[in-house]
Structure 1
Amino acid sequence: MMPMFETKVRLLMMPPEQFVPFYIESIGYNPFQETVIRRDGYPFHHWLQTVSGEGKIIIEGSAFSLPPNHGIMLPPNVPHQYYCLGDSWSTYYLMIDGPQISPFMSILDIQFSTVYSWPEGTEPENLIGQMLESSLLSQDVTGLDNSIDVYRFLVQLKKHGTTVNTSTTQSLAVRLQPLVKYLDIEYRNPDLGMTEMSDRLNISPRHLNSLFKETFGYTPYQYLINLRIQKSKEMLTSERKTPIQHIAASSGFRDASHFIATFRKLEHMTPDQYRQTFVK
Protein backbone atom coordinates (compact mmCIF):
# COMPACT_ATOMS: atom_id res chain seq x y z
CA MET A 1 0.00 0.00 0.00
CA MET A 2 1.37 3.40 -0.95
CA PRO A 3 0.31 6.12 1.54
CA MET A 4 -1.26 9.24 0.09
CA PHE A 5 0.64 11.52 2.48
CA GLU A 6 4.32 12.02 3.27
CA THR A 7 3.93 13.63 6.70
CA LYS A 8 1.72 13.21 9.73
CA VAL A 9 -1.82 14.47 9.15
CA ARG A 10 -4.64 14.74 11.68
CA LEU A 11 -7.96 16.39 10.96
CA LEU A 12 -10.33 17.13 13.83
CA MET A 13 -13.78 17.53 12.31
CA MET A 14 -16.30 20.16 13.34
CA PRO A 15 -19.55 18.78 14.80
CA PRO A 16 -22.22 18.52 12.07
CA GLU A 17 -24.60 21.47 11.82
CA GLN A 18 -27.61 19.22 11.27
CA PHE A 19 -28.75 15.78 12.32
CA VAL A 20 -26.81 12.99 10.60
CA PRO A 21 -26.81 9.26 11.45
CA PHE A 22 -23.00 9.04 11.63
CA TYR A 23 -20.12 11.48 11.63
CA ILE A 24 -16.32 11.58 11.79
CA GLU A 25 -14.82 13.01 14.97
CA SER A 26 -11.25 12.83 13.68
CA ILE A 27 -9.27 11.15 10.93
CA GLY A 28 -5.55 10.92 10.28
CA TYR A 29 -2.36 9.35 8.99
CA ASN A 30 0.73 8.77 11.10
CA PRO A 31 3.93 7.75 9.22
CA PHE A 32 5.76 6.97 12.47
CA GLN A 33 3.17 5.65 14.89
CA GLU A 34 4.27 6.20 18.45
CA THR A 35 3.25 4.17 21.49
CA VAL A 36 -0.27 5.04 22.69
CA ILE A 37 -1.64 4.10 26.12
CA ARG A 38 -5.26 4.95 26.88
CA ARG A 39 -6.25 3.72 30.33
CA ASP A 40 -9.82 5.01 29.87
CA GLY A 41 -10.04 4.21 26.17
CA TYR A 42 -11.26 6.73 23.59
CA PRO A 43 -14.77 8.22 23.76
CA PHE A 44 -15.62 7.34 20.14
CA HIS A 45 -15.59 4.22 17.97
CA HIS A 46 -11.96 3.91 16.88
CA TRP A 47 -10.68 2.22 13.71
CA LEU A 48 -6.90 1.64 13.52
CA GLN A 49 -5.28 0.31 10.34
CA THR A 50 -1.71 -0.52 9.35
CA VAL A 51 -0.31 1.15 6.22
CA SER A 52 3.21 -0.26 6.47
CA GLY A 53 5.36 -2.01 9.06
CA GLU A 54 3.63 -3.79 11.90
CA GLY A 55 2.17 -2.91 15.27
CA LYS A 56 0.75 -4.68 18.26
CA ILE A 57 -2.39 -3.65 20.12
CA ILE A 58 -3.39 -4.81 23.60
CA ILE A 59 -7.02 -4.61 24.65
CA GLU A 60 -7.67 -5.50 28.28
CA GLY A 61 -5.05 -8.23 28.29
CA SER A 62 -5.60 -9.62 24.77
CA ALA A 63 -2.83 -8.88 22.25
CA PHE A 64 -3.24 -8.63 18.47
CA SER A 65 -0.69 -8.05 15.69
CA LEU A 66 -1.48 -5.58 12.90
CA PRO A 67 0.58 -6.15 9.73
CA PRO A 68 -0.25 -4.32 6.44
CA ASN A 69 -3.82 -4.67 5.18
CA HIS A 70 -5.04 -5.36 8.70
CA GLY A 71 -7.12 -3.18 11.00
CA ILE A 72 -9.21 -3.31 14.14
CA MET A 73 -12.35 -1.57 15.41
CA LEU A 74 -12.23 -0.54 19.06
CA PRO A 75 -15.40 0.20 21.04
CA PRO A 76 -15.69 3.49 22.96
CA ASN A 77 -14.14 3.87 26.41
CA VAL A 78 -12.33 0.51 26.49
CA PRO A 79 -8.75 0.62 27.82
CA HIS A 80 -6.10 -0.21 25.24
CA GLN A 81 -2.54 0.43 24.15
CA TYR A 82 -0.60 -0.06 20.94
CA TYR A 83 3.00 0.19 19.84
CA CYS A 84 5.37 -0.45 16.94
CA LEU A 85 6.93 -3.84 16.23
CA GLY A 86 10.27 -3.52 14.44
CA ASP A 87 11.76 -0.34 13.00
CA SER A 88 8.65 1.62 12.03
CA TRP A 89 4.88 1.46 11.80
CA SER A 90 2.60 3.77 9.83
CA THR A 91 -1.15 3.89 10.40
CA TYR A 92 -4.45 5.33 9.29
CA TYR A 93 -7.06 5.96 11.97
CA LEU A 94 -10.70 6.99 12.04
CA MET A 95 -12.81 8.08 15.02
CA ILE A 96 -16.56 7.90 14.37
CA ASP A 97 -19.82 8.35 16.25
CA GLY A 98 -23.46 9.26 15.70
CA PRO A 99 -26.90 8.25 16.95
CA GLN A 100 -27.18 5.40 14.41
CA ILE A 101 -23.59 4.15 14.40
CA SER A 102 -24.14 1.27 16.85
CA PRO A 103 -27.33 -0.06 15.20
CA PHE A 104 -25.76 0.14 11.74
CA MET A 105 -22.60 -1.65 12.83
CA SER A 106 -24.77 -4.31 14.46
CA ILE A 107 -26.72 -4.79 11.21
CA LEU A 108 -23.45 -5.23 9.29
CA ASP A 109 -22.04 -7.44 12.06
CA ILE A 110 -18.91 -5.30 12.36
CA GLN A 111 -17.14 -6.89 15.33
CA PHE A 112 -15.29 -4.95 18.01
CA SER A 113 -11.81 -5.84 19.25
CA THR A 114 -11.40 -8.20 16.29
CA VAL A 115 -8.68 -7.96 13.64
CA TYR A 116 -9.86 -7.61 10.03
CA SER A 117 -7.82 -8.26 6.90
CA TRP A 118 -8.62 -7.66 3.22
CA PRO A 119 -7.07 -8.61 -0.12
CA GLU A 120 -4.40 -6.30 -1.48
CA GLY A 121 -5.80 -3.84 -4.00
CA THR A 122 -9.36 -3.81 -2.62
CA GLU A 123 -11.05 -0.61 -1.49
CA PRO A 124 -10.32 -0.80 2.27
CA GLU A 125 -6.59 -0.65 1.49
CA ASN A 126 -6.51 3.11 0.98
CA LEU A 127 -10.07 4.21 1.66
CA ILE A 128 -9.15 6.10 4.86
CA GLY A 129 -6.50 7.98 2.88
CA GLN A 130 -9.07 8.94 0.26
CA MET A 131 -11.49 10.07 2.97
CA LEU A 132 -8.77 12.14 4.62
CA GLU A 133 -7.78 13.78 1.34
CA SER A 134 -11.44 14.52 0.53
CA SER A 135 -12.03 15.98 4.00
CA LEU A 136 -9.02 18.28 3.67
CA LEU A 137 -10.40 19.68 0.40
CA SER A 138 -14.09 19.74 1.34
CA GLN A 139 -16.04 22.88 2.16
CA ASP A 140 -19.03 20.91 3.42
CA VAL A 141 -20.28 22.19 6.79
CA THR A 142 -23.51 20.17 6.91
CA GLY A 143 -21.80 16.93 7.82
CA LEU A 144 -23.60 15.05 5.03
CA ASP A 145 -20.48 14.21 3.02
CA ASN A 146 -18.82 13.19 6.26
CA SER A 147 -21.73 10.86 7.05
CA ILE A 148 -21.62 9.33 3.56
CA ASP A 149 -17.90 8.60 4.02
CA VAL A 150 -18.58 6.70 7.27
CA TYR A 151 -21.34 4.70 5.58
CA ARG A 152 -19.07 3.85 2.65
CA PHE A 153 -16.20 2.81 4.91
CA LEU A 154 -18.32 0.45 7.02
CA VAL A 155 -19.98 -1.12 3.96
CA GLN A 156 -16.61 -1.69 2.26
CA LEU A 157 -15.20 -3.21 5.45
CA LYS A 158 -18.16 -5.58 5.54
CA LYS A 159 -17.79 -6.37 1.82
CA HIS A 160 -14.04 -7.02 1.71
CA GLY A 161 -12.96 -7.56 5.31
CA THR A 162 -12.40 -10.97 6.84
CA THR A 163 -11.89 -11.58 10.54
CA VAL A 164 -8.54 -13.07 11.43
CA ASN A 165 -8.19 -16.14 13.71
CA THR A 166 -11.55 -15.50 15.31
CA SER A 167 -13.31 -18.87 15.09
CA THR A 168 -13.36 -19.13 18.89
CA THR A 169 -14.41 -15.52 19.28
CA GLN A 170 -17.21 -15.94 16.76
CA SER A 171 -18.56 -19.02 18.52
CA LEU A 172 -18.53 -17.12 21.80
CA ALA A 173 -20.34 -14.22 20.14
CA VAL A 174 -23.06 -16.58 18.95
CA ARG A 175 -23.38 -17.98 22.47
CA LEU A 176 -23.71 -14.47 23.92
CA GLN A 177 -26.16 -13.24 21.27
CA PRO A 178 -29.31 -14.04 23.33
CA LEU A 179 -27.96 -11.85 26.15
CA VAL A 180 -27.05 -9.02 23.77
CA LYS A 181 -30.58 -9.06 22.35
CA TYR A 182 -32.03 -9.20 25.88
CA LEU A 183 -30.01 -6.14 26.94
CA ASP A 184 -31.15 -4.21 23.89
CA ILE A 185 -34.72 -4.63 25.13
CA GLU A 186 -34.25 -4.52 28.91
CA TYR A 187 -31.60 -1.76 29.22
CA ARG A 188 -34.30 0.57 30.60
CA ASN A 189 -34.56 -1.54 33.77
CA PRO A 190 -32.39 0.15 36.46
CA ASP A 191 -32.40 -3.07 38.53
CA LEU A 192 -30.71 -5.05 35.77
CA GLY A 193 -27.44 -6.49 37.07
CA MET A 194 -24.95 -9.32 36.67
CA THR A 195 -27.26 -11.85 38.31
CA GLU A 196 -30.07 -11.20 35.84
CA MET A 197 -27.62 -11.21 32.91
CA SER A 198 -25.91 -14.47 33.88
CA ASP A 199 -29.28 -16.13 34.52
CA ARG A 200 -30.17 -15.55 30.86
CA LEU A 201 -27.37 -17.93 29.87
CA ASN A 202 -27.53 -20.21 32.93
CA ILE A 203 -23.93 -19.54 33.87
CA SER A 204 -22.27 -17.85 36.83
CA PRO A 205 -21.65 -14.08 36.85
CA ARG A 206 -17.91 -14.74 36.97
CA HIS A 207 -18.06 -17.02 33.93
CA LEU A 208 -20.19 -14.48 32.06
CA ASN A 209 -17.71 -11.73 32.84
CA SER A 210 -14.88 -13.86 31.45
CA LEU A 211 -16.77 -14.85 28.27
CA PHE A 212 -17.89 -11.29 27.58
CA LYS A 213 -14.41 -9.81 28.01
CA GLU A 214 -12.89 -12.52 25.79
CA THR A 215 -15.45 -11.82 23.06
CA PHE A 216 -15.96 -8.06 23.15
CA GLY A 217 -13.00 -6.75 25.14
CA TYR A 218 -15.10 -5.34 28.00
CA THR A 219 -17.43 -6.51 30.75
CA PRO A 220 -21.21 -6.99 30.45
CA TYR A 221 -21.72 -4.08 32.85
CA GLN A 222 -19.54 -1.80 30.69
CA TYR A 223 -21.53 -2.91 27.66
CA LEU A 224 -24.80 -2.12 29.42
CA ILE A 225 -23.64 1.35 30.49
CA ASN A 226 -22.37 2.14 26.98
CA LEU A 227 -25.67 0.89 25.54
CA ARG A 228 -27.67 3.11 27.90
CA ILE A 229 -25.56 6.14 26.99
CA GLN A 230 -25.93 5.38 23.28
CA LYS A 231 -29.72 5.12 23.65
CA SER A 232 -29.78 8.38 25.60
CA LYS A 233 -27.84 10.12 22.82
CA GLU A 234 -30.44 8.96 20.31
CA MET A 235 -33.22 10.37 22.51
CA LEU A 236 -31.38 13.63 23.15
CA THR A 237 -31.22 14.34 19.42
CA SER A 238 -34.63 12.97 18.39
CA GLU A 239 -36.72 14.10 21.39
CA ARG A 240 -35.57 17.69 21.65
CA LYS A 241 -38.04 18.85 24.29
CA THR A 242 -37.98 15.80 26.55
CA PRO A 243 -36.58 16.75 29.98
CA ILE A 244 -33.23 15.29 30.99
CA GLN A 245 -34.74 13.43 33.96
CA HIS A 246 -37.12 11.63 31.58
CA ILE A 247 -34.26 10.73 29.25
CA ALA A 248 -32.36 9.38 32.27
CA ALA A 249 -35.25 7.17 33.35
CA SER A 250 -35.90 5.95 29.79
CA SER A 251 -32.23 5.03 29.46
CA GLY A 252 -32.15 2.88 32.60
CA PHE A 253 -30.61 5.30 35.11
CA ARG A 254 -32.08 5.61 38.60
CA ASP A 255 -31.86 9.39 38.69
CA ALA A 256 -30.76 12.36 36.60
CA SER A 257 -27.63 13.08 38.63
CA HIS A 258 -26.24 9.57 38.05
CA PHE A 259 -27.09 9.85 34.36
CA ILE A 260 -25.40 13.26 33.99
CA ALA A 261 -22.28 12.11 35.85
CA THR A 262 -21.97 8.96 33.72
CA PHE A 263 -22.65 10.84 30.49
CA ARG A 264 -20.02 13.45 31.34
CA LYS A 265 -17.44 10.76 32.14
CA LEU A 266 -17.96 8.90 28.87
CA GLU A 267 -18.74 11.76 26.47
CA HIS A 268 -16.73 14.57 28.11
CA MET A 269 -19.79 16.84 28.08
CA THR A 270 -23.16 16.99 29.80
CA PRO A 271 -26.35 15.71 28.14
CA ASP A 272 -27.51 19.33 27.70
CA GLN A 273 -24.23 20.26 26.04
CA TYR A 274 -24.51 17.24 23.74
CA ARG A 275 -28.04 18.20 22.76
CA GLN A 276 -27.00 21.81 22.07
CA THR A 277 -24.04 20.65 20.01
CA PHE A 278 -25.83 18.17 17.78
CA VAL A 279 -29.32 19.65 17.57
CA LYS A 280 -29.64 22.92 15.67
Structure 2
Amino acid sequence: MNNYLFPVITYENTLPFYVKGVGGLENQEHIIRPNGYHDFQWLHCVKGKGKLIINNKEFFIPRNSGFFMYPGVPHQYFAVEEPWETHWVVFGGYGVVPLLNALGFSQYNVFRLNDIRPLDNLINDIYILSQSKNLLSGYRCSAKLYNLLIELKVQTQESLDTANVSRYNKLRPVLDYIDNNYMNNPTMDELASLINVSPQYFCRIFNNVLGIRPFTYLNLIKLRNAKELLIKHPEMQIKEVASKVGYNDVSYFCAVFKKHEGVTPMEFKINSAFHIT
Protein backbone atom coordinates (compact mmCIF):
# COMPACT_ATOMS: atom_id res chain seq x y z
CA MET A 1 0.00 0.00 0.00
CA ASN A 2 1.33 3.42 -0.95
CA ASN A 3 -1.76 5.57 -0.72
CA TYR A 4 -4.20 7.05 1.72
CA LEU A 5 -7.70 8.45 1.78
CA PHE A 6 -9.97 10.46 4.04
CA PRO A 7 -13.62 9.40 3.69
CA VAL A 8 -16.39 11.97 3.43
CA ILE A 9 -18.08 11.81 6.84
CA THR A 10 -21.90 11.96 6.77
CA TYR A 11 -23.89 9.73 9.11
CA GLU A 12 -20.70 8.04 10.34
CA ASN A 13 -20.06 10.63 13.06
CA THR A 14 -23.19 9.38 14.84
CA LEU A 15 -21.55 5.96 15.29
CA PRO A 16 -19.52 4.98 18.36
CA PHE A 17 -16.49 4.32 16.12
CA TYR A 18 -15.81 5.82 12.73
CA VAL A 19 -12.82 6.04 10.41
CA LYS A 20 -11.50 9.49 9.53
CA GLY A 21 -8.48 8.40 7.50
CA VAL A 22 -6.63 5.26 6.45
CA GLY A 23 -3.58 4.45 4.38
CA GLY A 24 0.06 3.54 4.19
CA LEU A 25 3.42 4.66 2.86
CA GLU A 26 6.11 2.42 1.42
CA ASN A 27 8.75 4.76 2.85
CA GLN A 28 7.32 6.79 5.72
CA GLU A 29 8.30 10.46 5.69
CA HIS A 30 9.51 12.35 8.76
CA ILE A 31 6.51 13.60 10.75
CA ILE A 32 6.83 16.35 13.38
CA ARG A 33 3.73 17.33 15.36
CA PRO A 34 4.55 19.68 18.25
CA ASN A 35 0.84 19.94 19.09
CA GLY A 36 -0.02 16.33 18.38
CA TYR A 37 -2.57 15.04 15.89
CA HIS A 38 -6.23 16.03 16.04
CA ASP A 39 -7.62 12.47 15.98
CA PHE A 40 -6.92 9.11 17.57
CA GLN A 41 -4.34 7.21 15.55
CA TRP A 42 -2.82 3.78 15.19
CA LEU A 43 0.31 3.15 13.05
CA HIS A 44 2.30 -0.05 12.61
CA CYS A 45 5.41 -1.08 10.71
CA VAL A 46 5.39 -3.76 8.02
CA LYS A 47 8.98 -3.27 6.80
CA GLY A 48 12.16 -1.52 7.92
CA LYS A 49 12.49 0.35 11.20
CA GLY A 50 11.46 3.73 12.51
CA LYS A 51 11.77 5.76 15.65
CA LEU A 52 9.05 7.50 17.67
CA ILE A 53 9.94 10.37 20.00
CA ILE A 54 7.37 11.35 22.57
CA ASN A 55 7.74 13.05 25.96
CA ASN A 56 11.52 13.04 25.43
CA LYS A 57 11.44 9.24 25.18
CA GLU A 58 12.61 7.31 22.13
CA PHE A 59 11.02 4.09 20.89
CA PHE A 60 12.14 1.97 17.97
CA ILE A 61 9.28 0.83 15.72
CA PRO A 62 10.43 -2.24 13.71
CA ARG A 63 8.23 -4.76 11.91
CA ASN A 64 5.53 -6.30 14.11
CA SER A 65 5.31 -3.22 16.28
CA GLY A 66 3.35 0.00 16.29
CA PHE A 67 2.02 2.83 18.36
CA PHE A 68 -1.35 4.15 19.43
CA MET A 69 -1.95 7.76 20.43
CA TYR A 70 -4.70 10.03 21.74
CA PRO A 71 -5.33 13.39 20.03
CA GLY A 72 -3.13 16.29 21.10
CA VAL A 73 -0.07 14.31 22.22
CA PRO A 74 3.11 16.00 20.87
CA HIS A 75 5.35 13.59 18.96
CA GLN A 76 7.53 12.92 15.95
CA TYR A 77 8.52 9.80 14.04
CA PHE A 78 10.92 9.01 11.22
CA ALA A 79 12.74 6.17 9.46
CA VAL A 80 16.01 4.80 10.80
CA GLU A 81 16.14 1.79 8.45
CA GLU A 82 14.72 2.45 5.00
CA PRO A 83 12.39 1.71 3.44
CA TRP A 84 10.24 2.10 6.54
CA GLU A 85 6.79 0.98 5.42
CA THR A 86 3.88 1.92 7.65
CA HIS A 87 0.13 1.36 7.61
CA TRP A 88 -2.18 3.52 9.70
CA VAL A 89 -5.72 4.50 10.56
CA VAL A 90 -7.08 7.62 12.28
CA PHE A 91 -10.49 7.61 13.89
CA GLY A 92 -13.02 9.10 16.28
CA GLY A 93 -16.42 8.44 17.85
CA TYR A 94 -18.15 8.73 21.20
CA GLY A 95 -17.38 5.08 22.00
CA VAL A 96 -13.62 5.34 21.58
CA VAL A 97 -12.61 6.69 25.00
CA PRO A 98 -14.83 4.28 27.01
CA LEU A 99 -13.46 1.33 25.03
CA LEU A 100 -9.85 2.47 25.37
CA ASN A 101 -10.34 2.90 29.11
CA ALA A 102 -11.82 -0.59 29.35
CA LEU A 103 -8.85 -1.99 27.40
CA GLY A 104 -6.39 -0.19 29.66
CA PHE A 105 -4.79 1.99 26.97
CA SER A 106 -2.91 5.13 27.99
CA GLN A 107 -2.55 8.49 26.22
CA TYR A 108 0.07 6.77 24.10
CA ASN A 109 1.25 3.17 23.85
CA VAL A 110 4.03 1.42 21.94
CA PHE A 111 3.30 -2.24 21.28
CA ARG A 112 5.28 -5.28 20.22
CA LEU A 113 2.91 -7.66 18.45
CA ASN A 114 2.89 -11.42 17.97
CA ASP A 115 1.54 -11.27 14.42
CA ILE A 116 0.94 -8.10 12.43
CA ARG A 117 -1.20 -9.83 9.79
CA PRO A 118 -4.62 -9.67 11.50
CA LEU A 119 -4.20 -5.93 12.14
CA ASP A 120 -2.85 -5.34 8.64
CA ASN A 121 -5.76 -7.25 7.09
CA LEU A 122 -8.23 -5.12 9.05
CA ILE A 123 -6.58 -1.90 7.85
CA ASN A 124 -6.66 -3.18 4.26
CA ASP A 125 -10.35 -4.03 4.67
CA ILE A 126 -11.03 -0.54 6.06
CA TYR A 127 -9.15 1.00 3.12
CA ILE A 128 -11.22 -0.96 0.58
CA LEU A 129 -14.51 -0.25 2.36
CA SER A 130 -13.67 3.47 2.62
CA GLN A 131 -13.54 3.64 -1.19
CA SER A 132 -16.93 1.99 -1.55
CA LYS A 133 -20.02 3.93 -2.60
CA ASN A 134 -22.20 1.48 -0.68
CA LEU A 135 -24.39 3.26 1.86
CA LEU A 136 -23.56 0.63 4.50
CA SER A 137 -19.78 0.84 4.13
CA GLY A 138 -19.53 3.29 7.06
CA TYR A 139 -21.16 0.74 9.35
CA ARG A 140 -18.81 -1.97 8.14
CA CYS A 141 -15.81 0.29 8.67
CA SER A 142 -17.05 0.98 12.20
CA ALA A 143 -17.19 -2.76 12.90
CA LYS A 144 -13.72 -3.31 11.43
CA LEU A 145 -12.30 -0.47 13.53
CA TYR A 146 -13.78 -1.98 16.70
CA ASN A 147 -12.30 -5.35 15.74
CA LEU A 148 -8.92 -3.72 15.19
CA LEU A 149 -8.85 -2.22 18.69
CA ILE A 150 -9.91 -5.52 20.25
CA GLU A 151 -7.33 -7.43 18.21
CA LEU A 152 -4.68 -4.97 19.35
CA LYS A 153 -5.57 -5.68 22.96
CA VAL A 154 -5.56 -9.44 22.40
CA GLN A 155 -2.15 -9.35 20.72
CA THR A 156 -0.53 -7.14 23.33
CA GLN A 157 -2.08 -9.14 26.16
CA GLU A 158 -0.65 -12.34 24.71
CA SER A 159 2.82 -10.88 24.18
CA LEU A 160 3.18 -8.69 27.28
CA ASP A 161 1.21 -10.60 29.90
CA THR A 162 2.78 -14.04 29.87
CA ALA A 163 3.00 -13.97 33.68
CA ASN A 164 -0.76 -13.46 33.92
CA VAL A 165 -1.35 -16.30 31.45
CA SER A 166 0.85 -18.52 33.60
CA ARG A 167 -1.16 -17.62 36.70
CA TYR A 168 -4.40 -18.30 34.82
CA ASN A 169 -3.14 -21.73 33.80
CA LYS A 170 -2.27 -22.38 37.45
CA LEU A 171 -5.88 -21.56 38.34
CA ARG A 172 -7.38 -23.90 35.74
CA PRO A 173 -7.80 -26.85 38.15
CA VAL A 174 -9.64 -24.52 40.54
CA LEU A 175 -11.95 -23.20 37.83
CA ASP A 176 -12.71 -26.72 36.63
CA TYR A 177 -13.37 -27.82 40.22
CA ILE A 178 -15.79 -24.92 40.78
CA ASP A 179 -17.60 -25.79 37.54
CA ASN A 180 -18.18 -29.33 38.79
CA ASN A 181 -18.73 -28.66 42.51
CA TYR A 182 -20.31 -25.19 42.81
CA MET A 183 -23.46 -26.67 44.35
CA ASN A 184 -21.42 -28.01 47.29
CA ASN A 185 -20.13 -24.54 48.28
CA PRO A 186 -16.39 -25.27 48.30
CA THR A 187 -14.44 -23.24 50.87
CA MET A 188 -11.41 -21.05 50.22
CA ASP A 189 -9.22 -23.56 52.06
CA GLU A 190 -10.53 -26.33 49.84
CA LEU A 191 -9.91 -24.37 46.62
CA ALA A 192 -6.46 -23.16 47.68
CA SER A 193 -5.38 -26.71 48.50
CA LEU A 194 -6.01 -27.72 44.87
CA ILE A 195 -2.99 -25.69 43.79
CA ASN A 196 -1.00 -26.02 47.03
CA VAL A 197 -1.05 -22.39 48.13
CA SER A 198 -2.36 -20.59 51.19
CA PRO A 199 -5.92 -19.19 51.11
CA GLN A 200 -4.54 -15.65 51.32
CA TYR A 201 -2.21 -16.10 48.35
CA PHE A 202 -4.94 -17.93 46.44
CA CYS A 203 -7.37 -15.02 46.87
CA ARG A 204 -4.69 -12.57 45.75
CA ILE A 205 -3.74 -14.35 42.52
CA PHE A 206 -7.39 -15.12 41.74
CA ASN A 207 -8.29 -11.45 41.99
CA ASN A 208 -5.20 -10.41 40.01
CA VAL A 209 -6.01 -12.77 37.15
CA LEU A 210 -9.82 -12.57 36.92
CA GLY A 211 -10.44 -9.21 38.55
CA ILE A 212 -12.94 -10.60 41.06
CA ARG A 213 -12.80 -12.50 44.36
CA PRO A 214 -13.19 -16.31 44.36
CA PHE A 215 -16.47 -16.02 46.29
CA THR A 216 -17.88 -13.66 43.64
CA TYR A 217 -16.80 -16.04 40.87
CA LEU A 218 -18.47 -18.94 42.67
CA ASN A 219 -21.71 -16.96 42.82
CA LEU A 220 -21.49 -16.17 39.09
CA ILE A 221 -21.11 -19.85 38.26
CA LYS A 222 -24.10 -20.66 40.47
CA LEU A 223 -26.18 -17.98 38.75
CA ARG A 224 -25.20 -19.20 35.29
CA ASN A 225 -26.47 -22.67 36.14
CA ALA A 226 -29.55 -21.27 37.87
CA LYS A 227 -30.50 -19.40 34.68
CA GLU A 228 -30.16 -22.58 32.67
CA LEU A 229 -32.43 -24.44 35.10
CA LEU A 230 -35.02 -21.65 35.07
CA ILE A 231 -35.24 -21.83 31.28
CA LYS A 232 -34.94 -25.59 30.75
CA HIS A 233 -37.17 -26.58 33.69
CA PRO A 234 -39.88 -23.93 34.11
CA GLU A 235 -41.86 -26.36 36.26
CA MET A 236 -39.25 -26.12 39.04
CA GLN A 237 -39.98 -23.87 42.00
CA ILE A 238 -37.54 -21.05 42.74
CA LYS A 239 -36.68 -22.68 46.06
CA GLU A 240 -35.77 -25.90 44.27
CA VAL A 241 -33.57 -24.08 41.77
CA ALA A 242 -31.81 -22.27 44.61
CA SER A 243 -31.14 -25.54 46.41
CA LYS A 244 -29.79 -27.26 43.29
CA VAL A 245 -27.17 -24.56 42.71
CA GLY A 246 -26.07 -24.41 46.35
CA TYR A 247 -28.22 -21.75 48.05
CA ASN A 248 -29.97 -22.99 51.19
CA ASP A 249 -31.65 -19.62 51.75
CA VAL A 250 -34.02 -18.78 48.88
CA SER A 251 -34.26 -15.13 49.95
CA TYR A 252 -30.50 -14.76 49.75
CA PHE A 253 -30.52 -16.50 46.35
CA CYS A 254 -33.13 -14.05 45.06
CA ALA A 255 -31.15 -11.08 46.40
CA VAL A 256 -27.89 -12.25 44.77
CA PHE A 257 -29.70 -13.03 41.52
CA LYS A 258 -31.29 -9.58 41.31
CA LYS A 259 -28.02 -7.85 42.21
CA HIS A 260 -26.21 -9.45 39.27
CA GLU A 261 -29.03 -9.86 36.73
CA GLY A 262 -31.18 -6.83 37.48
CA VAL A 263 -34.34 -8.97 37.79
CA THR A 264 -35.62 -11.59 40.23
CA PRO A 265 -35.41 -15.29 39.35
CA MET A 266 -39.18 -15.35 38.73
CA GLU A 267 -38.99 -12.31 36.43
CA PHE A 268 -36.11 -13.93 34.56
CA LYS A 269 -38.13 -17.13 34.10
CA ILE A 270 -41.19 -15.24 32.84
CA ASN A 271 -39.14 -13.05 30.49
CA SER A 272 -37.32 -16.07 29.09
CA ALA A 273 -40.40 -18.23 28.66
CA PHE A 274 -40.68 -17.51 24.94
CA HIS A 275 -37.36 -19.33 24.41
CA ILE A 276 -38.90 -22.60 25.58
CA THR A 277 -40.01 -24.99 22.85
TM tier, smaller? 0.5 to 0.7
Code of the residue aligned with 2:94 in structure 1: it is P
Code of the residue aligned with 1:85 in structure 2: it is V
Higher relative contact order, chain-length normalized (CA < 8 Å, sep 6+): 1
Code of the residue aligned with 2:26 in structure 1: it is P
Query: What residue is the counterpart of 2:119 in the other structure?
Result: 124
Give the root-mean-square deviation of aligned CA atoms.
Answer: 2.5
* The 10-residue stretch of structure 1 (65-74 or 109-118) with the greater mean CA deviation from structure 2: 109-118
Code of the residue aligned with 2:72 in structure 1: it is N
Measured after TM superposition, the shift of residue 142 of structure 1 is: 7.0
1:91 matched to 2:86: yes
Higher share in helix: 2
Map Cα deviations across residues 215-263 of structure 1 (whole Å, 9 max, x no partner). Answer: xxxxxxxxxxxxxxxxxxxxxxxxxxxxxxxxxxxxxxxxxxxxxxxxx
Query: What residue is the counterpart of 1:9 in the other structure?
Result: 3
Query: What residue is the counterpart of 2:153 in the other structure?
Result: 158
Contact 2:41 2:69 in 1 (8 A): yes
Distance change (3 Å), C-alpha of 1:137 and 1:23: same
Query: What residue is the counterpart of 1:76 in the other structure?
Result: 71
Percentage identity across aligned positions?
Answer: 28
Contact 2:54 2:75 in 1 (8 A): yes
Which runs of 5 or more residues in structure 1 are unaligned? 167-280
Measured after TM superposition, the shift of residue 145 of structure 1 is: 1.7
Query: What residue is the counterpart of 2:53 in the other structure?
Result: 58
Contact 1:45 1:96 in 2 (8 A): yes
Distance change (3 Å), C-alpha of 1:142 and 1:124: closer
Distance change (3 Å), C-alpha of 1:121 and 1:45: closer
Q: Higher Cα Rg: structure 1 or 2?
A: 2
Distance change (3 Å), C-alpha of 1:53 and 1:107: same
Equivalences, count: 161
Code of the residue aligned with 1:89 in structure 2: it is W
Q: What SS does the corresponding residue of 2:37 show, helix, strand or coil? A: coil
Map Cα deviations across residues 172-228 of structure 1 (whole Å, 9 max, x no partner). Answer: xxxxxxxxxxxxxxxxxxxxxxxxxxxxxxxxxxxxxxxxxxxxxxxxxxxxxxxxx
Measured after TM superposition, the shift of residue 20 of structure 1 is: 0.6
Q: What SS does the corresponding residue of 2:15 show, helix, strand or coil? A: coil
Measured after TM superposition, the shift of residue 140 of structure 1 is: 3.0
- Corresponding residue to 2:62 among 47, 63, 67: 67
Measured after TM superposition, the shift of residue 72 of structure 1 is: 0.7
Q: What SS does the corresponding residue of 2:108 show, helix, strand or coil? A: coil
Which runs of 5 or more residues in structure 2 are unaligned? 162-277
Query: What residue is the counterpart of 1:39 in the other structure?
Result: 34
Matched residues in 2 for 1:93 and 1:72: separation? 10
Structural mapping, 1:131-280, within 5 Å: 131-137=126-132, 139-140=134-135, 143-162=138-157
Query: What residue is the counterpart of 2:109 in the other structure?
Result: 114
Matched residues in 1 for 2:153 and 2:41: separation? 16
